[in-house]
Every structure is written in structure tokens, then in C-alpha cells.
Amino acid sequence: MNRRLRITLAVVAGVVLLALALWGVDATELRRSIARANVGWLVAAAVLYLTAYFVRSLRWRAILHPIVRVRVSESFHMLMAGYFLNYIIPIRAGEVAKSFFLKRLKGIPVGTSLPTVFVDKLFELVSILFVVTMVPILSINMSATLAALIYTVLAIFLLAIALLFFAFRNPDGASRLLCGLFSWLPGGVYKKLSEFIGLFVQGMGVARREARMLWSFLGLTGLAVLIDGLYFYFMFRAFSVDVAFTRVLFGYTLLTLSYILPTPPAQIGYNEFVIGLIFAGGVAAVGVARHEVMAVVIVAHAMTGLIIAAVGMWSFGAMGIRVGESFRKVAGADAPGELADSGRSERE
């Protein structure tokens, strides 16, 4: 499937999700709710939203430490530029892009740095344990769709943990297993991917070397999740919608975890659908109308989209890397090995 068709299908899926999210919502009440938003709470929420990303950049910088030392500003710019690409490309290409940025700026091979991205994402997924724990404590009304979302993220987390420990204990076996999964690919692509997988598994040693930093990584993860929850709680306060902080924290944490799944460009319709599913499905306090939840998420989506775009473009400029170039390298590569080769050829 070519890139244009994938993007078209992703946009269509987003529009469908948006229509489903807004189905049955009173348009007049929705406009009234949006119109009464408190600007002060919105500004405070925007600051917290960006602060959570800054904390995540500190975590990735610490994970990178055994491989390369980067300044705080560099890790922040690479992270935000990667999130911007994630926002506009309907695949998780922004994660791979961070390794491309390191290749361009520091000369670090993609296969060497990509495991740090994997480990960083693994710590991000740790918060699924919080979500699962809070379901019985908060007496969450679990619809079948909500349960499927939670268990899917949990399964991905457990699979990633298993892969990590397998790579620790038996690097050669992990390489053979991963290569075997892609043995059906054409010979040229399979050869490049096999070489990349070998480098990736070897690079997983970065997590073993930094095991003593485990609590620091977990602490930064917890802080970022807490700030995320405060951001979305402030969004509810901006609309005078009364939802307990613990429930907001649960719901927004689940939303961010769900981003491990493919999303439409700019998450069109996805945020509205998932937030509606979470909060209108029993997470929010009794008495919160669906149009109020939709007002919160629509304004939050628009505001955070502007933040991601503005800070992402600024970050690209600060790094001296063109957005279009990154888009072509990351979204246009047929295999991770091609990304590594392209980065190497431009340096030579």
C-alpha cells in the first residue's frame, strides 16, 4: 500500500471517528459550552501540557547517557520534532525520527540509538499498570470497547517487557526470533532488516547498563503522568465541569497510552472518539453531559495541536533540519535499514 493511499485511508478513518464521537451531541449546547471557556485555566493547562513533554525529554536524555551526551535543549528539540512528525504522519514514524535526528546531529548510528527510543516508550507504557489498578478502585464502568482498549495496551506492554528481557538473556536468540518474523520479506529488504535487528538487539544493552537508574526513570515517568493529569483537569476546570482529579488522571493516562496504536493525521477524530468512550462510558462523575465532555476535548485538541505544531517547527529550526527532509526519510523508508543508510550517506 503506497503512502498516499495510507494517508487517505487514515484521514477517512479520522472523519468517521469524529462523526461517531459527535453523534447525538446537541450542537447548540456544544457551542455554548465552548464559548464559556475560561482563558486563564486554558493558559495554565497549556503550560502544564508543554511541561509534561519537557519532563519526558529529560527521561530520554538520561536513557541516552551511556551512548551520547546531549544538552537539555537538544533532547527537548528532538523529542518535540519527533512528536510533530507523529502528529502529521499516520504511523509512529516520529519515534524512529528521533534516531534520525541523532544521526544527523551527533553521528550516532540509527541501530545504536533506536533501542533508547524503545526503552523510553517502554517506560511510557508502565503507566498502564496504574490504569489497570485504578479500574476497581474507581469503580469504572467498563464497556466492552473500553476493556478491549485497556487490554490491548496491556498486552503490548507485556510483549515489550518480554522482548526486552529476552534480548538481555539471549541476544542471539532474540535476533533469530525477530529475523524469523520477517523471513517472508524480499531478499534485499530482509538482509537490511536483519542487519538492523542485530544492531538493535545489541543496543538493548543500554537498558541493562542503566538498570541502576531505573527508579529515576520511573520517577520522571510518574511526574510526567501526574502533570498530564493536571493539564486535563485544568481543561475541565476551564469549562466548569466537575470531575474528580483521580478520574481525569485515569482517563487521560489511558488516552495517551492508546497512542501506541495507529492514529489518523493530527489525531483527527481519534481524541474525540476515545475521550468520549472513556468519560462518557462511566469514568466521569454522574451528571456530566456528553456535550460538555466534547467541548473539553475539542478545545483541548485544537490548543494542543497548535502547541505541537509551533514548538515542533521551532525545534526543527533550532536543529537546522528541514521538516520535509525528515518526512521523506522517515515516512518514505521501506525498511529501517534504509533510514540508517540514508543518514550515513548524507554524512559522507
Condensed to tens digits (0 to 9), the pLDDT of residues 12-21 reads: 888 999 998 8
Whether residue 195 is predicted with pLDDT greater than 60 in this model: the reply is: yes
Predicted confidence at residue 93, as pLDDT, reads 67
- For residue 335, pLDDT over 50 is answered with no
Is the predicted pLDDT of residue 251 greater than 70, yes or no?
Answer: yes
Q: Which band of pLDDT confidence, cut at 50, 70 and 90, is reported for residue 42?
A: very high
Confidence of residue 146 (pLDDT cuts 50, 70, 90): confident
Rounded distance, CA 42 to CA 170, Å? 50
Average pLDDT (230-242) is 94
pLDDT score of 90 more than 80: no
H or E element, residue 36:
none
Query: Across all residues in the chain, what is the average pLDDT?
Result: 82
The pTM assigned to this predicted structure is 0.84
Enumerate the H helices of 26-127 as residue ranges. Answer: 27-35, 39-64, 72-88, 93-106, 110-125
Please compute the mean of the pLDDT values over residues 136-151 and round it to a whole number. Answer: 82
68 DSSP 8-state letter: -
- At residue 96, the pLDDT reads 79
| pLDDT exceeds cutoff 60 at 313 | yes
Residue 265 is predicted with a pLDDT of 81
pLDDT score at 282: 56
Tell me if residue 195 falls in helix, strand or coil: helix
pLDDT band per the 50, 70, 90 thresholds, residue 161: confident
Grid cell digits, residue 118: 524503545
Where does the pLDDT of residue 344 fall: very low under 50, low under 70, confident under 90, or very high at 90 and above?
Answer: very low
Contact predicate 101/78, CB 8 Å = yes
Grid cell 450542537 — which residue? 27
Residue 190 burial class via C-beta count within 10 angstroms: exposed 0-12, middle 13-18, buried 19 and up: middle
pLDDT exceeds cutoff 70 at 189: no
Q: Are the beta carbons of 96 and 336 closer than 8 angstroms? A: yes
The residues near 132 (Cβ < 8 Å, ≥ 6 apart) are 150, 154
pLDDT tens digits along 252-310: 999 998 888 878 888 889 999 988 888 875 555 445 788 899 999 999 999 999 999 99
Q: What is the pLDDT of residue 5?
A: 74
Instruction: Output Rg (C-alpha) for the chain, integer angstroms.
Output: 21
Is the confidence at residue 228, as pLDDT, over 70?
Answer: yes
- Between CA 108 and CA 199 the distance in angstroms is 12
Q: DSSP of 182-235, one letter per residue? A: TTTS-HHHHHHHHHHHHHHHHHTHHHHHTGGGHHHHHHHHHHHHHHHHHHHHHH
What pLDDT shows up at residue 345?
42
